[in-house]
């Protein structure tokens, strides 16, 4: 009986404890539910759309900040009837409809009229210094210099201010003009274009089609765009934007949402003559350096050493010279600092003053920014051996003038001799006149080369952009003096082999040389 009582008491105690536990747990659970509702039972939170007012207010704030410093620029040029040509009707606002077709005028007297062009600019100094494009304010026709530059200020459209040119730089398409307004003018601030990112919002402000103070919005679509071929392209690397840019926007600012100028609107890519969503602006870092030079001396002085090279260097070309980086020298200008320092055609420039040279742009940037008269240390590779020399930096304008002084007559045609083969070109021997011209232009010790008469489409030569009229001087460092030499050397080439060609090409009235290389397919 005692044992039954004990079992009963024990069972009762367990039941009481269990009941207390459940009760306490239920109270705690209910409290937890009240304080922290379960996620699955909660109402879903609605998605909030960002307020369009924020972005709109940012645009409005920037426009209000920068617009007072943006100007409208008109130029007037006196053009004779012979200069008019058959351009688009209405190119001059003063065109008379009947005169456009019948050219009424005094018999025997040359007809002249005023051609007007429109552009924009940005005030960078309260004293009236304005940055714009070279092509907006400078002479557009060799026989028709700009007669007058007229500036209209924001909010003061009724007043015309005559401007004078402080300085201009054709290579970067930038110019500085100045007006005397008799008061301090609102000036914009330059930003840092190197910190701009693709996708950043920007505003373009200017006078498209003469519509003053027009503001358009877009983003930075790309950086470092190269749209200008040849030597001039070495100094023009653009910001690309889809902000609407049209004729008349040239010279106006491209600004970020901090209200700082990060570019100068310059060009558009279009098939219609107006905005297609692809506009280009000169980065502010470039514009700042040019502006500072122009206000100090009226021009931009750049350094040069007197070498030419390919815009792009491919791995096959570098391997042909035993290099893994660098720029191959195509030609050394006679009498230039490079020649005096001992540099030769075929040298591979590796570094300048300790700064690695991987592209032609690297070489141009380092040398052009070096002070004229200073000396730079050039590390280069010659026949597999690394060497160093000191080169004095000269004025680029003088170097270019010396290069353009190499003149000669146009190439006469000779009887073609077909060679065919894996290089995909047909060649012919040079005539005595051609041989003499090339020898003189390139300062060769003897006549060399064969002229390309035909290039096979999609062949090896076509891939290297070899053109009819080019002269092949050597193949894999072996001189080519005749078609027989060309055929003999070509017959030794095999698929998968790197092939290096030294080619001379006529540019204007002179020849320049270039190394071209690729792997033979």
Catalytic residues: 135, 173, 250
419 vs 425: CA distance, rounded Å? 7
150 vs 430: CA distance, rounded Å? 56
Q: Kindly state the tokens that stand for 307.
A: 């070498």
466 vs 459: CA distance, rounded Å? 10
354 vs 130: CA distance, rounded Å? 38
Q: Kindly state the tokens that stand for 11.
A: 């069972």
Q: Judge whether 399 and 306 are in contact, CB under 8 Å.
A: yes
Q: Judge whether 134 and 228 are in contact, CB under 8 Å.
A: no
Alpha-carbon Rg for the chain in angstroms: 35
Q: Judge whether 163 and 150 are in contact, CB under 8 Å.
A: yes
Q: Kindly state the tokens that stand for 322.
A: 């035993």
Query: Does an H or E element contain 134, and which?
Result: helix 134-137
The dihedrals phi and psi of 148, each to the nearest 5 degrees, come to -155, 140
The DSSP secondary structure of 146-169, one letter per residue, reads EEEEEEEETTEEEEEEE-EEEEEE
The residues, any chain, with a CB within 8 Å of residue 516's CB and separated by 6 or more, are 310, 317, 464, 465, 466, 500, 501, 503
Q: Kindly state the tokens that stand for 516.
A: 């071209």
The residues, any chain, with a CB within 8 Å of residue 44's CB and separated by 6 or more, are none
494 vs 198: CA distance, rounded Å? 45
418 vs 312: CA distance, rounded Å? 30
Q: Report the first-to-last Cα separation within the chain, whole angstroms.
A: 108
Within 90-155, strands assigned E span: 112-125, 129-133, 146-153
Q: Judge whether 202 and 241 are in contact, CB under 8 Å.
A: yes
CB atoms within 10 A of CB 404: 12
CA distances, 351 to each of 255, 362, 377 (Å) = 36, 9, 8
CA distances, 425 to each of 251, 449, 462, 500 (Å) = 46, 14, 8, 15
Secondary structure class of 421 (helix, strand, coil): coil
The DSSP secondary structure of 24-43, one letter per residue, reads HHHHHHHHHHHHS--GGGSP
């Amino acid at each position: 009986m005692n044992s039954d009582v004990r079992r009963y008491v024990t069972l009762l105690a367990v039941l009481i404890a269990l009941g207390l536990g459940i009760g306490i747990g239920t109270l705690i659970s209910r409290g937890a539910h009240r304080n922290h509702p379960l996620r699955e039972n909660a109402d879903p939170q609605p998605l909030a759309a960002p307020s369009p007012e924020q972005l709109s207010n940012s645009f409005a704030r920037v426009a209000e900040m920068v617009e007072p410093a943006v100007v409208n620029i008109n130029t007037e040029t006196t053009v004779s009837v012979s200069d008019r040509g058959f351009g688009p009707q209405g190119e001059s606002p003063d065109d008379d409809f009947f005169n456009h077709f019948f050219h009424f005028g005094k018999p025997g007297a040359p007809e002249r009229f005023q051609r007007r062009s429109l552009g924009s600019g940005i005030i960078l100094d309260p004293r009236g210094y304005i940055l714009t494009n070279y092509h907006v304010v400078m002479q557009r026709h060799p026989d028709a210099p700009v007669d007058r530059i007229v500036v209209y200020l924001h909010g003061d459209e009724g007043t015309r201010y005559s401007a004078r040119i402080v300085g201009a730089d054709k290579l970067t398409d930038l110019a500085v003009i100045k007006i005397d307004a008799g008061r301090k003018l609102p000036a914009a601030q330059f930003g840092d274009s190197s910190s701009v990112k693709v996708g950043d919002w920007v505003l373009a402000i200017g006078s498209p089609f003469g519509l003053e103070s027009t503001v358009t919005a877009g983003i930075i679509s790309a950086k470092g765009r190269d749209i200008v071929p040849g030597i001039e392209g070495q100094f023009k690397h653009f910001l690309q934007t889809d902000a609407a840019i049209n004729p008349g926007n040239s010279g106006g600012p491209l600004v970020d949402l901090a209200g700082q100028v990060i570019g100068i609107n310059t060009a558009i890519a279009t098939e219609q003559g107006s905005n297609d969503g692809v506009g280009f602006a000169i980065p502010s870092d470039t514009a700042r350096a040019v502006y500072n030079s122009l206000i100090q001396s009226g021009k931009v002085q750049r350094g040069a050493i007197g070498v030419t090279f390919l815009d792009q260097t491919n791995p096959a070309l570098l391997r042909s010279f035993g290099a893994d980086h660098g720029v191959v020298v195509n030609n050394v200008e006679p009498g230039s600092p490079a020649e005096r320092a001992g540099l030769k055609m075929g040298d591979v420039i590796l570094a300048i003053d300790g700064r690695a040279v991987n592209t032609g742009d690297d070489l141009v940037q380092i040398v052009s920014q070096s002070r004229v008269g200073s000396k730079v240390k050039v590390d280069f590779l010659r026949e597999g051996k690394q060497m160093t020399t000191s080169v004095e930096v000269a004025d680029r304008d003088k170097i270019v003038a010396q290069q353009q002084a190499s003149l000669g007559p146009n190439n006469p045609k000779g009887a073609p001799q077909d060679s065919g083969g894996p290089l995909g070109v047909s060649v012919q021997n040079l005539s005595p006149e051609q041989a003499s011209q090339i020898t003189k232009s390139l300062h060769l010790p003897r006549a060399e080369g064969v002229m390309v008469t035909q290039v096979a489409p999609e062949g090896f030569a076509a891939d290297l952009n070899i053109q009819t009229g080019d002269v092949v001087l050597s193949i894999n460092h072996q001189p080519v003096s005749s078609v027989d030499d060309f055929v003999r050397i070509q017959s030794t080439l095999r698929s998968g082999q790197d092939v290096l060609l030294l080619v001379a090409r006529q540019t204007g009235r002179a020849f320049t040389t270039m190394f071209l290389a690729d792997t033979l397919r």
